[in-house]
């Protein structure tokens, strides 16, 4: 049937099965709004837990009073509002953006192993940031730009430039998913090689800062980073969700989509732009967090199936949960294990990069996907 997967046929007629009194769809599909509500409540609990974890211990009452700006001690409000709350919000929103981007790319390329870095966006964004750090500082550590808005904007531009280059190089009388993937791998490899080369010109302090961008970290993220991230998310997330209907048709194959009257090339370009914008915005603030955009969409697909009207929102929510939970784990390891072994006082806002945790989780997950039978991906 022109590339139509027989496993997806029930999803195409879901409008009829939804009205069937003997609905045999999974519970998560039938009660999808309830599933989202449960996920949002879990996210709120994780935000509170994220705020509570740190070198300074806070009770639930201390956190609530600090959030209401009625703290018993001024230090509580400074730590909660100035350091921990913006970091939690950045992790939550960046994770959601990467999850939605991963789901879009897996749909567009019809490749279950696709992830946000596929089009070279992550590597391009990091390369632009590294160029800016090395060029602006001129080898002087004291002049290295810190928490200003310029670094995220440079990362956003670099990521979008890499995505544009990937699309242009892969375009031959239309964009083909296979060429797109191969070109993305090429662009990502070149950007990573140039990043490694630039490290030779960086001093020790610069290298430490650069490595946090290449690994991915939420450490030190404050309100200026949040103020950079949320406008991008406000523009990119609705765009990605609105494109769900178009993506559903595209999953059936180009010939079927054209037969249904869809402008395939324009649809694919719109979806790729949305995914690139989401990825660029996220990595511009938290760096190249690996595997996170692969794990979340796969979990969502196992729960609600391939209908992107549910897959996209659930991928966004689940990946946000995974990233903030990984950040909690990173801070727990830093304080409870590294601090205990070394005997050092770990400063607030520093510690193990969250990208290291997601890599430890993602590598076995990626291997699991590769070893599974092809029909079960």
For residue 345, give the CATH number of its domain: 1.10.3470.10
Give the predicted TM-score (pTM) of the model: 0.84
Using CA atoms, how far apart are residues 300 and 83, in angstroms rounded to an integer? 31
Using CA atoms, how far apart are residues 197 and 1, in angstroms rounded to an integer? 49
pLDDT at 366: 75
Q: How confident is the model at residue 13 (pLDDT cuts 50, 70, 90)?
A: very low
* Percent of the chain whose pLDDT exceeds 90: 24
> What count of residues does the chain have?
377
20 in any annotated domain: no
Asked whether the predicted pLDDT for residue 41 surpasses 70, the reply is yes
318 in any annotated domain: yes
175 in any annotated domain: yes
Q: Which two tokens stand for residue 317?
A: 């929510």
Region 214-223: what's the mean pLDDT? 86
1-12 per-position pLDDT tens digit:
444 443 443 444
pLDDT at 15: 47
pLDDT at 120: 87
Number of domains in the chain: 1
221 in any annotated domain: yes
pLDDT at 6: 38
pLDDT at 151: 78
Half-sphere exposure of 199 (CA within 13 A, CB side): 16
pLDDT at 253: 73
Asked whether the predicted pLDDT for residue 291 surpasses 50, the reply is yes
173 in any annotated domain: yes
Asked whether the predicted pLDDT for residue 146 surpasses 70, the reply is no
Using CA atoms, how far apart are residues 286 and 314, in angstroms rounded to an integer? 21
Asked whether the predicted pLDDT for residue 143 surpasses 50, the reply is no
Region 40-65: what's the mean pLDDT? 84
pLDDT at 307: 83
Using CA atoms, how far apart are residues 64 and 258, in angstroms rounded to an integer? 54
The parent domain of residue 335 ranges over 6-12+25-376
40-54, 142-156, 331-345: least confidently modelled range? 331-345
Instruction: Give Cα 173 distance to the centre of its chain.
Output: 31
Which is nearest to 136 in space by CA: 213, 202, 224, 208?
202
Residues 144/208, Cβ–Cβ less than 8 Å: no
Region 117-133: what's the mean pLDDT? 87
As beta bridge partners, residue 175 has 171
pLDDT at 7: 42
Better pLDDT: 139 or 324 = 324
Mean pLDDT computed over every residue of the chain: 80
344 in any annotated domain: yes
pLDDT at 194: 92
Instruction: Give Cα 107 distance to the centre of its chain.
Output: 16
135 in any annotated domain: yes
């Amino acid at each position: 049937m022109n590339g139509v997967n027989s496993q997806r046929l029930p999803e195409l007629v879901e409008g009829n099965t939804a009205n069937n009194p003997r609905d045999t769809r999974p519970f998560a599909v039938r009660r999808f709004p309830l599933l989202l509500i449960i996920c949002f409540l879990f996210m709120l609990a994780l935000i509170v837990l994220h705020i509570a974890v740190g070198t300074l211990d806070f009770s639930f009452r201390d956190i609530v009073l600090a959030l209401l700006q009625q703290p018993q001690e001024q230090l509580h409000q400074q730590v909660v509002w100035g350091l921990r709350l913006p970091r939690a919000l950045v992790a939550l929103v960046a994770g959601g953006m990467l999850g939605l981007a991963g789901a879009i790319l897996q749909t567009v390329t019809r490749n279950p192993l696709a992830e946000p870095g596929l089009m070279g966006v992550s590597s391009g964004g990091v390369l632009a940031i590294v160029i800016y750090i090395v060029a602006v500082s001129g080898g002087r550590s004291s002049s290295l730009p810190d928490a200003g808005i310029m670094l995220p904007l440079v990362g956003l531009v670099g990521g979008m430039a890499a995505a544009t280059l990937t699309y242009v190089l892969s375009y031959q009388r239309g964009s083909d998913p296979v060429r797109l993937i191969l070109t993305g791998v090429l662009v990502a490899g070149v950007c990573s090689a140039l990043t490694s080369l630039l490290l030779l010109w960086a001093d020790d302090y610069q290298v430490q800062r650069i490595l946090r961008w290449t690994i991915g970290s939420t450490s030190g993220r404050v309100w200026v980073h949040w103020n950079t991230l949320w406008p991008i998310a406000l523009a990119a997330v609705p765009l990605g969700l609105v494109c769900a209907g178009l993506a559903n048709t595209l999953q059936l194959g180009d010939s079927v989509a054209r037969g249904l009257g869809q402008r395939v090339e324009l649809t694919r370009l719109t979806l790729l732009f949305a995914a690139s914008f989401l990825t660029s915005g996220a990595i511009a603030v938290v760096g190249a967090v690996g595997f996170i955009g692969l794990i979340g969409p796969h979990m969502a697909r196992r729960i609600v199936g391939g209908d992107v009207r549910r897959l996209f929102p659930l991928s966004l929510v689940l990946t946000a949960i995974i990233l903030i939970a990984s950040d909690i784990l990173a801070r727990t390891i830093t304080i409870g294990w590294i601090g205990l072994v070394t005997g050092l006082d770990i400063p607030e806002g520093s510690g193990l990069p969250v990208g290291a945790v997601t890599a430890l989780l993602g590598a076995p997950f990626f291997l699991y996907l590769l070893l599974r039978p092809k029909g079960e991906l």
